[in-house]
Structure 1
Amino acid sequence: MKNLEYLWKDIEVTEKENEYLEKRFAEMSVKEKYILEGAVQIVEVNNASDLINLTEQLSNFDFYYKATDNKTLGEYVARHKECASNEILPFIKIDHLGNEYHEDFNGVFTDNGYVYQRNTLKQIYDGSNLDKMTGDDWTVKIKVGNKDYPEGVWIILPDYEFSSLEPDEMAIALDALGTNKWSRCALLDAKCVVPNIKELAEQYDSIEELISDGNNFGYVCDEQGQGRAFFTEHLESAMELEGCTRLDFALDISQNLNCYDFAPKEDKLERYGRLLASKNGIVEPDTILGDNFDYTLYAKADIDNRGLVPCKNGFIKSNGEQFHYEFSKKLDSMGISME
């Protein structure tokens, strides 16, 4: 893989920006690096702000692995986008298809594949909010190496090859490692975007088990509890209440949020009150009473009535509903309190 440090070594950066970029590039997955190789040919990078904004939004680019020219691009599109079978693939004008696709999407070819910009980038970094940068879209990231690549590579989860049927993080990383089996690899490091999940690499006996839970937790977080209001705050508050430090238990908590009554913190109480009033049939929106209803006060009354206690992301308490374990061991054997 190419050394991409040149991207920020030749531009003016502050000490904190340099520290951020060094960490971001050090933990960049193989797929992210391949995307970045093309993205810098599409988006102009003149300063540290441009580069940080770009590395925060690599998920706004699509990457077609090993589509390095019109012919291989046409084959990729036919096979993965149009689901062409092996029987009809020989009859597809793949050169022509690839050329048309390239002209339509105006992407770039790199040594590793085809990159094109799917969405417009936002100005996320303003020069003063480095602490708000997350390193783009990820839930769990693992670092895996083997005897041929002892320094290892990072992989971002969740991986979506099972649904997209396109090579994603895991397949691309395994290819870079020169293997097709996790059993031939060693886990070097692991992290979760939820900060209280600590020592993640020590929690699993195999890479496969960690990947399975990492993917499942990632899918849940990406789906936001299938559109559940205040899902992330609710989940993190339940984890805080339980003193959760394990990924498998976090996954179980995410499937049992009905066991926890929750309300968000002060700045979101007005929206919460609106949703609650509508759910309870108290007032109708866009009516005289609805327009003159104090939704924040109603939310606070609900918090008091249910006896919710303050936490980092709002107010919460366990409501006594049965907790169903699917991914983790029962807490007696994990040493975690349910108080």
Structure 2
Amino acid sequence: MISAYIGNLGKYNEGILAVEPLRFPASTEEVQAVLSKIGVDGIRYEEVFIADYETNVAGLRNHLGEGESIDELNYLASLLDGLDNGQKAKYEAALSLGEYTGSVKDLINLTQNLDCYEFYPEVQNEEELGRYLIDECGALDVPEHIKDYFDYEAYGRDMFLNTTSDFAGGGYIENNGSPFMEHYDGEVPEEYQIFSYPDEPRHSILEALKQFREAPPPEHGKTAKAATHEER
């Protein structure tokens, strides 16, 4: 549900653009493969940035920045993958309210607090809202003989203006006043932690050190000649 274009920040600051896509949810091996391609080895280059995003969750891209945590993005994508179509539509609509969208932490908690919202699919305007609330939800008892004269639009407008709500995501979304619970406190569960530098560069350095230690000492004769030359 989320693809991020991962870049090498050190190279970018040197005027070199090294970027590769990574689709979430991802594995540690997939992260390491991307880091290898862009030259982030954890030694010379350690920092990454996110150049761009692609996602099939409407409105989500607007709330993701270039400095997001790879692990948090993986956790968010995993939670989004677990939503059914109705929950996904409600989540997209809730994003438009902008209440819990300031960070990936908020976006993660939003996936786990969808019961704080009422979502009416296909309700697109104030008149449709008024009719839905009265005819389907029984919000107001309108006698049958005056229904043809009742101003559903005015009623819908009054409800819209006096609630935290929006027409978005293919319907009408409203905060129902239930307490928003912080299920995620910023500590990514271990099973979603995937960021790891590639192993290969570290192995090559260890191998180089091993070869240096095992290399034979220089020949005595050449050392002696060098010393004689220095004495002159």
Q: Normalised by the size of structure 1, how large is the TM-score?
A: 0.37
* 1:184 aligned partner: 46
* 1:237 aligned partner: 93
Give the deviation of 1:253 after TM superposition: 1.0
* 1:223 aligned partner: 82
Give the letter aligned to residue 38 of structure 2: L
Larger Rg: 2
Equivalent pairs counted in the alignment come to 150
* 1:256 aligned partner: 113
Q: 1:178 to 1:152 in 2, by over 3 A?
A: closer
Give the deviation of 1:326 after TM superposition: 4.2
CA contact (8 A) 2:20 2:37 kept: no
**In the alignment, which of 126, 139, 148 is matched to residue 305 of structure 1?**
139
Distance 1:323 1:198 in 2: 22
Distance 2:51 2:138 in 1: 43
Distance 1:200 1:242 in 2: 13
SS in structure 1 opposite 2:182? coil
* 1:154 aligned partner: 20
Distance 1:197 1:245 in 2: 12
1:133-153 deviations in Å (ceiling 9; x for gaps): xxxxx4141331155683122
* 2:177 aligned partner: 320
SS in structure 2 opposite 1:191? strand
1:43-102 deviations in Å (ceiling 9; x for gaps): xxxxxxxxxxxxxxxxxxxxxxxxxxxxxxxxxxxxxxxxxxxxxxxxxxxxxxxxxxxx
Give the letter aligned to residue 135 of structure 2: A
Q: 1:188 to 1:298 in 2, by over 3 A?
A: closer
SS in structure 2 opposite 1:189? strand
Distance 1:242 1:298 in 2: 24
Give the deviation of 1:222 after TM superposition: 1.7
1:112-152 deviations in Å (ceiling 9; x for gaps): xxxxxxxxxxxxxxxxxxxxxxxxxx414133115568312
Q: 1:200 to 1:298 in 2, by over 3 A?
A: closer
Give the deviation of 1:318 after TM superposition: 1.3
Give the letter aligned to residue 189 of structure 1: A
Aligned CA-pair RMSD: 3.6
- Counting only pairs closer than 5 Å after superposition, residues 202-221 of structure 1 correspond to structure 2 as 204=67, 210-221=69-80
Give the letter aligned to residue 230 of structure 1: G
- Counting only pairs closer than 5 Å after superposition, residues 270-309 of structure 1 correspond to structure 2 as 301-302=135-136, 305=139
Distance 1:148 1:242 in 2: 35
Bigger RCO (CA 8 Å, 6+ sep): 2
Give the deviation of 1:259 after TM superposition: 0.7
Q: 1:327 to 1:143 in 2, by over 3 A?
A: same
Distance 2:77 2:134 in 1: 32
**Identical amino acids, percent of aligned pairs:** 17
CA contact (8 A) 1:157 1:211 kept: no
- Counting only pairs closer than 5 Å after superposition, residues 11-90 of structure 1 correspond to structure 2 as none
Distance 1:300 1:231 in 2: 24
CA contact (8 A) 1:252 1:326 kept: yes
Q: 1:265 to 1:142 in 2, by over 3 A?
A: same
* 1:145 aligned partner: 8
CA contact (8 A) 1:262 1:316 kept: yes
Q: Normalised by the size of structure 2, how large is the TM-score?
A: 0.51
